[in-house]
Homo-oligomer: A and B are copies of this chain.
Amino acid sequence: MATISDVASMAGVSTATVSRALNGKSTVDPELAARVFAAAEELGYSPNGPARNLRRQEAAVLALIISDVENPFFTAIARGVEDVAQAVGYSVVLCNSDESGDKERRYIDVAIQERVAGVILSPTSTTTNTKRLTDRGMPVVAVDRPLPDDEHDMVLVDTRMAAKEAAAHLFAQGYEQVGCITGPAGVRTADDRLAGYRDAVRSAKKRSSARLVRRTEYKAAGAKAATVGLMSQDDPPDALLVANSSMVIGVLEALDELGKQVGRDVGVVAFDDVSWAKLVDPPLSVVAQPAYEIGTVAAQLLLARIADSDRAATTTTLSARLIERGSSSRA
């Protein structure tokens, strides 16, 4: 592959001049510049990124480590990040930790080794170790889930409040025994959504009961089993708050197999306004999170910190919006 010195000798100038011409730095004689461009074109020259980054000691690349590529919530964040990054000439590399602390650690190492300019991640758990990043002065922004220490920028959603509202809505619709299916303990969004649910139970003057709560992986299969378990006990719940959109697939399947009609028999509200929410029967009531905006804000924060490492860490909390559809109505 052609190198800068190939271009230089073809154009009859020094490598320094080629570099200057191609980067539009300082002024280069127009005539020489033209020769340089012609030679570069002719040779199909494309600068060697690693070499440049090695020399410059910086790369215009951001790493985005998300916990589940197959979850539309996270891919929407990715789009937000990408749009902001592209606009200022940064590339984004997307890594899928797949809710595994191991893979997450591996990708954090890759980010360090590749010397990316900064990292945006949705921590798989509260034990996620970003120390390796911060020790090396790498800017980190956490999205969706907070990091334990407060030296990072974070972009979160007031998910506890949203969960409370959603559960309160179910009570207001006349459901008596609202249950909750949430993610694993230690995953902050799962804990918060459960806490919000409990807030609502308390406000509604209901007795909170562990019988009505199940925790599983943020996946359809676990949620399906949990729903079957929940519904097959005496005095089962007549409504369910479901903590994510993968889970609600399992929940709806289970309800269907148990012959329960959603809405009339069992009210359902789930997190995340997925594209197919209006297609199920009855249409699914959801808590819509501003995923794309989380991405854009996170990217802006990260870029700001890359530019100025002394900025104080900020936490941005966006709010979610309850969208009432048929699944949370008895009518």
A100 to chain B, nearest CB (A): 11
Query: Considering the complex, which residues of chain A in the window 43-98 have a beta carbon less than 8 Å from any beta carbon of chain B?
Result: 44, 46-51, 53-54, 59, 69-70, 72, 75-76, 78-79, 82, 86, 91, 93-96
The answer to whether A113 touches B280 (Cβ under 8 A) is: no
Provide the A109-124 mask, 1 if CB < 8 A to any CB of B, else 0.
1101111000000000
Partner-contacting stretch, out of A129-137, A177-185, A203-211, A316-324 = A129-137
In the complex where A249-B276, A253-B278 touch, is A44 in contact with B132 (Cβ < 8 A)? yes
A280–B281 touching, CB < 8 Å: yes
User: Which listed residue, B70, B93, B249, touches A94 by the CB 8 Å rule?
Assistant: B93
Q: Cβ of A279 < 8 Å from any Cβ of B?
A: yes
- CB contact between A136 and one of B46, B79, B91, B280 (< 8 Å): that residue: B46
Chain B residues with CB below 8 A from A279, complex form: 249, 252-253, 256, 276, 279-280
Residue A220 at the chain B interface, CB threshold 8 Å: yes
Q: B residues within 8 A CB of A137?
A: 1
Number of copies: 2
Tell yes or no: A23 within 8 A of B by CB.
Answer: no
Measured CB to CB, the nearest residue on chain B to A262 is: B279
Q: How many residues of A contact B (CB 8 A)?
A: 49
Q: Is A233 an interface residue (CB 8 A)?
A: no
Q: Is the CB of B47 within 8 A of A113?
A: yes
In the bound complex, residues from chain B placing their C-beta under 8 Å from that of A78 are: 69, 96
A residues 240-277 with Cβ under 8 Å of B?
A: 246, 249, 252-253, 256, 274-276
Smallest beta-carbon distance A88→chain B, Å:
14
Question: A54 touching B46 by the CB < 8 A rule?
Answer: no
In the assembled complex, the Cα of A49 lies from the Cα of B47 at a distance in Å of 17
Q: Which residues of B contact A51 (CB under 8 A)?
A: 50, 54
Q: Which of B50, B75, B280 contacts A70 (CB 8 A)?
A: B75
Do B115 and A50 touch (CB < 8 A)? yes
Cα A274 to Cα B274 in complex, Å, equals 13
For residue A112, which residues in chain B have a CB less than 8 angstroms away from its CB?
46
A113 touches B252 (CB 8 A): no
Residue from A79, A137, A274, A279 having most chain B Cβ neighbours under 10 A: A279
Contact A96/B113 with A1-B136, A50-B59 known, Cβ cut-off 8 Å: no
A104 → B minimal CB distance (Å): 13
For A75, A79, A109, which residue has the most chain B Cβ atoms within 10 angstroms?
Answer: A75
New A-B pairs, 13, CB < 8 Å, besides A49-B115, A51-B54, A94-B94: A44-B135, A44-B136, A46-B112, A47-B113, A49-B50, A50-B59, A69-B75, A75-B75, A93-B93, A249-B276, A256-B279, A280-B280, A280-B281
